[in-house]
Structure 1
Amino acid sequence: MPDMTDTAAPEATPRDLGFAMPPEWAEHAATWMSWPADDDLWFGHLEGVRAEFAGLVRTIASFESVHLLVRDAESSADARARLAGADVTYHAVPLDDVWLRDNGPIFVRRDGGELALTDWRFNAWGGKFHFQNDDRVPEYVAAHLGARRWALPFVLEGGGLEVNGAGVGLTTRSCFLTDTRNPGLTEEGYAVLLADTLGVRQLLWLDGGLENDHTDGHIDTITRFVDESTIVTSVESDQDDPNHAVMARNLTALRAMTTLDGRPFRIVELPLPETHLEGAEGRLPPTYANFYIGNGFVVVPQYGDPNDASALDILTPLFPGREVIGLSSREIIEGGGSFHCVTQQQPAGTVWTGE
């Protein structure tokens, strides 16, 4: 069994105590985010990024509370000015960047409604960027909530794993099996680890993600669960595009996968944006699969692309009872991610202290 550190009961895993990661569409208590602050990290696009962030935060806050981390006085003042009147709670926390899906906690819950969190090591996608402050965010969140925290000695980013809430997890080999994350940890080792920590009883693998994705191919940029038995996956129709072959292999693999009880998943194809976007470090990885599901809503990134409307048309009927909202992410994508990458849901539940 993987080694875990926990001051209250180091021998007890989340699974031992009945905890598992809920699906994103389960009811939220709040959404956690971080405010963009470094113009260099955004290649001179900080003003536009902040404008799009403000639209995203305001939209989410109109449905559920938002906890916003701000790293300094300037960031706090800027966020408060842009978000005046929104349901936002501010937290002064040292930060490197904004990708809270990856450096934030992953919450777990058990049937009685008790909520705790897992704290994974974050090394900025294999040491690609500075990450010392961001790696401490889960510890802050746990202390603020008074929640039980499992501090785990393994690297794992939230954007690298999808769960369906019925025991199935989905990830990519190109991300999890890199030697810059957990060298020597095999597919079988991950299956044991994620069963013990997040309640994943069946871990399914795709080969890879989008071209020039600095996360090494996070699953949340290409393929997502929208309910227990339905998967949306990105496809590229242009056979000359480098993404075409990878997405086609993923599609074939998904069609052969089944739920825990052996039923095939319903697979829905979602086109990638038609236009190739170039950033400061080469081709950008825009995708509509990086949507975020919240209480009564889904926010879908838009890029001023011919496929924007089609993506909304495909996703809307998959979320009955939720408002599917398209918001601009043309500036945010300059940093390499979009709405799912910058959010982390806190599921509804009673915070459990471990006592």
Structure 2
Amino acid sequence: MTYRMPPEWAPHERTWMAWPGPNPTFGDAGELAAARAAWAAVARAVRRFEPVTVVHGPGQGDSARELLGPDVELVERQLDDAWMRDIGPTFVLDEEGRPAAVDWVFNGWGGQDWARWEHDSKIARQVADLAGAPVLSSTLVNEGGGIHVDGEGTVLLTDTVQLGAGRNPGWTREEVETEIHARLGTRKAIWLPHGLAGDYGRYGTQGHVDIVAAFARPGTVLVHSQRDPAHPDHDRSRTHLEILRGRTDAVGRPLEVVEVPAPTVLKDEEGDWVDYSYINHYLCNGGVVLCAFDDPNDEVAAGVFRRLFPEREVTQVDARTIFASGGGIHCITQQQPRG
């Protein structure tokens, strides 16, 4: 049996999310409350377009229901954190269009000292069971934010994730590609050397690609473009753009690269470089849920997405609280493709 991961723009059965609970990521009670409000805003935005199921920890259903409203399905399971893109399964379809779920090994983004994953390492199988999808187990340490596919055989990866010492020590590039292709139905990997600078901070993922580059359709890739030379991502962006402009996809098309300007803000209130990125968006049935940062470039980015997705409604949600915790809108959502 062969399987294929559909692109994110293919029809969805639903979206899966996880509810923030007390853990090191969210710090004190005020930060947790802010995170819950931000996650709920994303869930409600997605729910306008398709069903949403939110997994919450024991005893947290009432707080979730209060913020999410009556139209979001709730399911109780043990959780450590709230990044469903990374802890949940990667859904694929078999040759007859039936869903299955890839269960990657999850080890807290490379075994970071603050991370806990006793429960999160099991949530992919639990979500697969709730979705009625058979599980395809992988021995590769990987997260959903570390891959992006075009649905026609091409996958984007980064050296510091799949080849990082904290995830897959001893694996060669060829071994990683073989496993990725076997699980996702891809046949060509395009590697970027790193993620954005801010993603290597304490709560970063160490280089997830879904904040750097994402396919918008076969042959077209959106790329984060930091225009300000003062930001360390200025040089990183130039590297990513140069690599992708020189690549072809799995069917031999030269990639069309669409630059998406980064927000104008460079540092957060603590003086650290931000990795704010519009690339970390989420496509749902008839919609685009796009990060906003109360920034002049919010509307610039919205215009790019409206041009690329004229048949979809672009909805912007303030993502600064989510980014402060280590990710963005794409990081907290996971699509289940329609079978």
TM-score by length of 1: 0.90
Deviation at 1:279, TM superposition (A): 6.2
Structural RMSD (CA): 1.5
The aligned counterpart of 2:192 is 206
Taking the aligned partners of 2:23 and 2:139, their CA distance within structure 1 comes to 32
- Could you say which residue in structure 2 is the equivalent of 1:85? 70
Alpha-carbon displacement from aligned partner over 1:226-270 (angstroms, at most 9, x marks no partner): 101110001111123111111101100000111223221111001
Query: Which ranges in structure 2 are unaligned for 5 or more consecutive residues?
Result: none
CA contact (8 A) 1:33 1:69 kept: yes
1:50 alignment partner in structure 2: 36
1:138-180 deviation digits (Å, cap 9, x = unpaired): 1111222332111222201110011000000011112221111
Pairing 1:109–2:93 present = yes
DSSP-derived class of the 1:278 partner: coil
Equivalent position amino acid for 1:178 in 2: G
**Secondary structure, counterpart of 1:260 in structure 2:** coil
> Whole-Å Cα distance in 2 between the matches of residues 35 and 80 of structure 1?
11
Measure, in 2, the Cα distance between the counterparts of 1:51 and 1:304.
17
What amino acid does structure 2 have at the position aligned with 1:47?
A
Q: 1:309 Cα deviation (Å)?
A: 1.2
Amino acid of the residue matched to residue 114 of structure 1? R
- In the alignment, the residues of structure 2 paired with residue 320 and residue 313 of structure 1 have an alpha-carbon distance, to the nearest angstrom, of 10
> Which consecutive segments of 4 or more residues in structure 1 shift more than 3 A?
279-284
Q: What residue number does 1:13 align with?
A: none
CA drift of 1:40 comes to 4.5
Measure, in 2, the Cα distance between the counterparts of 1:305 and 1:286.
10
Letter in 1 for 2:45: T
Give the match for residue 22 of structure 1.
Answer: 6
What amino acid is the match of 2:173?
Answer: E
Name the aligned partner's letter for residue 127 of structure 1. Answer: G
Alpha-carbon distance in 1 for matches of 2:17, 2:116? 19
Query: 1:230 touches 1:265 (CA, 8 Å); kept in 2?
Result: yes
Q: Give the aligned partner of residue 121 of structure 1.
A: 105
Asked if 2 retains the 8 angstrom alpha-carbon contact of 1:207 and 1:246, the reply is no
- 2:283 is matched with 293
Structure 1 equivalent of residue 133 of structure 2: 147
Matched-pair contact (CA < 8 Å) for 1:33–1:68? yes
Calculate the TM-score normalised by the size of structure 2: 0.94
**Stretch deviating more after TM superposition (228-237 or 268-277):** 268-277
Would the alpha carbon gap of residues 71 and 209 (structure 1) be closer, same or farther in structure 2, given more than 3 Å must change?
same
CA drift at 1:39: 6.5
Amino acid at match of 1:245: D
* CA pair 241-280 structure 1, distance change in 2 beyond 3 A: closer
Unaligned runs of 5+ in 1: 1-16, 350-355
SS of the aligned residue for 2:277 comes to coil
Say if 2:321 is the partner of 1:335.
no
Q: Would you say the 8 A contact 1:42–1:334 is kept in 2?
A: no
Residue 146 of structure 2 corresponds to which residue in structure 1? 160
Aligned equivalents of 1:154 and 1:177: distance in 2? 10
Aligned partners of 2:285, 2:279: CA distance in 1, in Å? 18
- CA positional deviation for 1:106: 0.5
Q: Please tell me the residue identity of whatever aligns with 2:79.
A: L
- Which moved further from structure 2: 136-145 or 264-273? 136-145
Question: Does the CA contact (< 8 Å) of 1:221 and 1:287 recur in 2?
Answer: yes
Corresponding residue number in structure 2 for 1:4? none
Is 1:72 the counterpart of 2:58? The answer is yes
Aligned residues of 2:23 and 2:81 also touching (Cα < 8 A): no
Shift of residue 62, structure 1, vs aligned partner: 1.5
DSSP-derived class of the 2:197 partner: coil
**2:216 corresponding residue in structure 1:** 226
How much does 1:306 deviate?
A: 2.0
Tell me, in whole angstroms, the C-alpha distance in 2 between the residues paired with 1:85 and 1:100. Answer: 21
Please state how far the C-alpha of 1:72 moved relative to its aligned partner: 2.1
Structure 2: distance between partners of 1:200 and 1:240 = 37
CA distance in 2, matches of 1:140, 1:110: 20
Match of 1:344 among 331, 334, 339: 334
Q: Deviations over 1:323-343 (max 9, x none)?
A: 111111121111011100000
Asked whether the 8 Å contact 1:49–1:332 carries over to 2, the reply is: yes
Match of 1:14 in 2: none
Is the 8 Å Cα contact of residues 279 and 334 (structure 1) preserved in structure 2?
no
Shift of 1:182: 0.8
1:153 match: secondary structure: strand
1:103–1:134 CA contact under 8 A, matched in 2: yes
Q: How many residues align?
A: 331
C-alpha separation in 2, matches of 1:281 and 1:136:
36
Distance (Å, rounded) in 2 between the aligned partners of 1:110 and 1:318:
29
Q: Deviations over 1:191-223 (max 9, x none)?
A: 111121111100111111111311111110010
Q: In structure 2, what is the equivalent of residue 244 of structure 1?
A: 234
Tell whether 2:259 aligns with 1:269: yes
Equivalent position of 2:301 in the other structure: 311
Q: 1:56 to 1:150 in 2, by over 3 A?
A: same
